[in-house]
Chain A
């Protein structure tokens, strides 16, 4: 599937210069319309406006205003506007963005007309519902045409009479008349009042009213089914509440998906007395529900509130209309709040924070003067988020009721019955009845998070606040799912929740959920910052089928936001053995709890989880949750694994280092860093060098914990290798399986007048330093050393360190040259830049990122996953290691609207999202390392970027030390490659996320590159690929000849073969020879195939020129000679140049012709 999606014709990739793939079509369309518009305009008007040609091929250009425009005297109006933008918003940009967004979500006039006319016709239809004669409630024989009743009729028996009759009134309620209805998913609510003679005053008892309501709806459905003016009809239920089914109508024809009409049946106004539905009263008799007689009748608050909810909508609408007429920006404020909620997946499903609650919240804030009537939508949103962030409705509920009705329940009574309390204007209904405390906490968390980055001028607040979707899998560090929800039924029995089950009318998922959540909360304790759960989506089913059972719901997902310090601890320390809490602790943990004596002398209850390596420890929450849930769900030994699906470390496999011990490389990296620290200490203390060492810095990914496969200490079996002179063994049979890759260390030498001022001489002096450093290290510490002109290899602890001496003035010397007139000219050149990068910038980056790893323990793992993906997709040469590390660092440094990633998996998903969604064309990515950049710096970077966009790299990343150049992305990627990376990242994300959430088994599809876009494949012989064991699909048998197990000796021993990778040699030769004609792609982590792509212009004939005669043959036509690539010979050269390494060359001639 991926393959087919990614297949693309070469011409589109190369001709299309626009980076942002997804919007191409729109852009071009818009441009066309705009340009045509411009043509209609007269030339002079355009000139007079003095406006720059905005949006020329989708690229921002520096604004140029004429002097006259800039300095003309301002009008009072303009002055006001400018001042307002400056003081209220950060800038006018945010204000304009909000306005645009509102335009985007509001309904068009055309759509409103459509809705109005459809409502009109439905109303007319409804008035003609035929009257039927009285019959028993349980007798449904009059329903024909296959229409079913949208209700689970359990228990079956129900008393009462029923007959169909036309509704006494049909009114529009909800968001549409209020003007707060937003796109997408437009739904218009229509309240259909059931005539009073159909109902009986005592119908509120024992689900009689909800049943009548459902049957009435079925009757309406039956009547409407015959009508041609109505499209598809489906049932659903309001916010997932099975007691409140609704009928969804869509208009016929092509408008069928543009909106839905929701029919609510409701009792005639004032039919039931609201005081009957006090949360502490019982309205479902136990003996009716269970068939067993009991003396106590438990209160049924949820049932009560759902009946009550049916009676009040029109009152609510009146209330809200009154409020919104006072406040001009009310509708817009609600719309913004709705968008905010929707991006966080909070606005739909059971117990959601719906748009209705949003309107009510704003009404509350207005009524208690927290916000004023004159505020703008922007301020309304901000204030409501502020209120949400700092007010805990689970503890202190709020009420909209003004004059307290004597029969209305008090807030305290509401609190005992419900978890979250927000009472409506009538004082009887808790509008948050179904909401769990966890959901409210999530809302609070999101609100306070939003406020945090809102004011931060360095964050694109608008984008983070309203434009970025936050699906659970990308938000939570770990996610787990509860499959097989039927198990919850026995869980209800076990927890003795029969009365609650009755209250929820048999919905065991909703009944058990609060208990599961509180259990998890207790068990996880300090390990998590936030526990969230998915809101079960509203079921929808056709009118011809029965209401779905509770067990057909999709699995419940729970999200954990981990506390990085405590989440991975293997020890759960409980209370002392003799304290009263110990019993509770033992009960929670059951057999896992044991008494332990600690070093400080305490004897306490404790639970110890398994986990040795970081990778295993990261999954401690999984052990814990599995333990808790299984003990809850299963009475007997059932199939435990299928019940709980834990999604936390699914991706770790591809970066696992050892096959024996499960580890994702943290331990190995730590060993390398420790060994390096030791070496650097020893270097500092060396005596006898002509100049002293001023700094020793690591310049290698392994030293910042981000090497995909960190070097593993080796113990060599010397008897295996041929002994050569110089005490260096080179295995002539060349079957190296684990080649130690050298860890680069930069060693700066003191500046002195004795350094020569000549580039060649400096290189010689550096060589001399390498020799003497090597001698000293051998003398004092008995390390085996091998100096060379460019570096010194040191064999230490089974690792190879490559020390490079650097002289800080060398780049300067490289830049200087003397003109013929004797003038000293300083000119920047590539050589100097490369040297500066290797000796200064890379060490600096390494130490900075090393620091970041100390702050965020999973930074390294995310980098490794990201780089493994880039490697697997053959992008390693385009997005280099340093670039990838910086990209990941930006995820941690500027996580808005998320929190910094707490697990490798979520970090990786966000990396893919960043790659695929960032607008590289018009925005610089600012990586604020060490928070050195201020807001002023950000604007400066942005302005510089826009001013010289054309000449800057396509992927522009600014860091505190590099604000204008983007050194790390200067060479690569190119426009075309970046475009492809963006596309592949988007596809990978699209495939990976559902795969993680849905299927039970994971395929590494995203780690397998689609090979069919390439023109030639060079297959390598796997035996000669040294890093084969790192491949995504590693071979079963790994070659590890010449390596012994056991502890590594610290010093001595001959050097192994260092950094000899035939494939890199081969690639370098190929690129040198044929770089003008083709691109070469390779997975550096054990890939066995090199993919070749001809450049688009490779095959066009060129006129014969002596300087362009590269692997070409001449074709003579008349007087002129042209050259074309000699493809046959080139393909042969692929084979010749890789003799011994290449297995076969597979030209895919179906893709190209010469």
Chain B
């Protein structure tokens, strides 16, 4: 009756959406199991070499104590793993900026994550999907223990110390890189500027798109400043207490102000009364 269930219902568990559910437990002496969902990665628009469509496995609900390394180990039982990518939210592959030294990469949050596992062979995917549901994957075993809790934190604490000279080195390499990038950028801009200049005969080469940049303010802030300046100018030109109607208007405004305040106060009182705020004791 249920088309969603495959015929190996007692072994593999497939749910609507095409995901296969696998069990995962931390170690053999722990009974409780997490359910992870796997599916072959299939996205129409994606054209990256990082996630080849036929060899990539998309995994949901990976517990926080499973790092890339652990996942790689865990899934190599189905065939050699080429790479593992863990992310907080599913999405397309993103290029990060310049590569940073380990001191400067921000600490990752310990969350449940999704993973993209790229196998070396496409056959591994089917191997995963046919893995029986009631045989759990075990994260931490005698051969490759996974540290959690105190041991992990002590390790982290020890790792957090940077040797000053190494740190300095990392800073220096990054800054050199940064400087060269800056120089290149400056170079490029200079070239562009030169293009705008007159040549010997007084001709300016007009290119598309570049001409507008000069008149347009290059930041939002200066945009607003210009507008404000304009309105201030207009205000200065106005005469204030000149006509009788202006005087009358100020008086009217005063009364309106008082009235408004009165109404506000009335509202406040009504509220307080409703809350019985006038009972002194």
Contacts and interface: CB of A to CB of B under 8 A. Distances in A.
Do A and B actually bind? yes
Interface string B7-33: 000000001110101000010001111
A1126 B31 CA distance: 13
A760 B97 contact: yes
B178 interface: yes
Q: Which 7 A-B pairs have the closest CB atoms?
A: A1139-B149, A1140-B150, A824-B219, A1132-B32, A93-B265, A30-B274, A1109-B60
Contacts, number: 268
DSSP majority for the B interface?
mixed
Interface in B229-281: 252, 255-256, 258-281
A103 interface: yes
B167 interface: yes
Contact of B32 (A767, A825, A1073, A1128): A1128
Contacts of A813: none
Interface stretch (A58-66, A229-237, A977-985, A1087-1095): A58-66
Contacts of A339: 280
Given A1137-B149, A1140-B149, 4 more contacts: A93-B265, A1073-B63, A1137-B65, A1142-B149
A824 B90 CA distance: 30
A139 interface: no
A874 interface: no
Contacts of B19: 1114
B35 interface: yes
Nearest to A98: B278
5 contacts: A54-B267, A730-B157, A1057-B157, A1073-B112, A1109-B114
B37 interface: yes
Q: Name, among A52, A774, A1111, A1128, the residue most crowded by chain B CB atoms within 10 Å (CB to CB).
A: A1111
B49 interface: no
A182 to B, nearest CB: 9
A346 to B, nearest CB: 14
A220 B149 CA distance: 81
A971 interface: no
A690 interface: no
A1139 B267 CA distance: 57
B75 interface: no
A847 to B, nearest CB: 30
Interface stretch (B78-86, B124-132, B158-166, B197-205): B158-166
A1120 to B, nearest CB: 7
B269 A93 contact: yes
B158 A730 contact: yes
Interface stretch (A1032-1040, A1045-1053, A1064-1072): A1064-1072
Nearest to A769: B171
A92 B262 contact: yes
B93 to A, nearest CB: 16
B15 to A, nearest CB: 5
B2 interface: yes
B248 to A, nearest CB: 11
A172 to B, nearest CB: 25
Nearest to B37: A1109
A383 B234 CA distance: 52
Contact of B267 (A23, A55, A104, A758): A55
B167 A789 contact: yes
B168 interface: yes
B114 A1106 contact: yes
Interface in A782-825: 786-789, 822-825
Contacts of A763: 104
Contacts of A1137: 64-65, 110, 148-149
B226 interface: no
A1073 B90 contact: no
A724 B31 CA distance: 39
Nearest to A756: B178
Given A27-B274, A1137-B64, A1129 B175 contact: no
A778 to B, nearest CB: 10
A724 B2 CA distance: 63
Nearest to B33: A1129
A661 to B, nearest CB: 32
A63 B264 CA distance: 6
Interface residues of A, number: 107
A608 interface: no
Contacts of B263: 51-52, 63, 65
B161 A788 contact: yes
Interface in B208-242: 213, 216, 218-221
Given A34-B274, A91-B265, A789-B103, A1136 B148 contact: yes
Contacts of B156: 1065
Given A1116-B16, A1121-B17, A20 B34 contact: no
Q: Which of A51, A86, A734, A1136 has the most CB of B within 10 A?
A: A1136
Given A466-B280, A467-B280, A788 B103 contact: yes
B61 interface: yes
B267 A65 contact: no
Nearest to B100: A760
Interface in B59-82: 60-61, 63-65
Contacts of B60: 1106, 1109
Interface in B100-125: 100, 103-104, 109-112, 114
A583 to B, nearest CB: 50
A325 B32 CA distance: 85
A1072 B275 contact: no
A1118 B274 contact: no
Given A96-B269, A1114-B35, A104 B279 contact: yes
Interface string A152-181: 000000000000000000000000000000
Specify which of A466, A1110, A1141 lies most central, judged by the most chain B CB atoms within 10 Å of its CB.
A1110
A1111 B174 contact: no
B154 interface: yes
A764 interface: yes
A823 B220 contact: yes
A1073 B112 CA distance: 6
Contact of A342 (B256, B278, B280): B280
A309 interface: no
A1133 B273 CA distance: 51
Given A730-B157, A1111-B61, A1118-B2, A58 B98 contact: no
A1126 B4 CA distance: 22
Contacts of A85: 258, 262
A1068 B107 CA distance: 12
A1071 B174 CA distance: 34
Contacts of B64: 1069, 1072-1073, 1137
Given A1107-B90, A1132-B32, A824 B218 contact: yes
Given A97-B278, A760-B98, A63 B267 contact: yes
B168 to A, nearest CB: 5
Nearest to B58: A1106
A721 interface: no
A1098 B11 CA distance: 30
A1131 interface: yes
Interface string A44-71: 0000000110110010110101000111
Given A767-B171, A1136-B26, A1072 B110 contact: yes
A53 to B, nearest CB: 10
B144 interface: no
Contact of B220 (A724, A728, A826): A826
Given A728-B161, A758-B178, A788-B160, A54 B34 contact: no
A74 interface: yes
A1121 B15 contact: yes
A343 B279 CA distance: 11
A1104 to B, nearest CB: 6
A1086 to B, nearest CB: 18
B255 A31 contact: no
A787 B166 CA distance: 11
A142 interface: no
In this complex, which of B61, B151, B252 has the most chain A Cβ atoms within 10 angstroms of its Cβ?
A: B61
B179 to A, nearest CB: 9
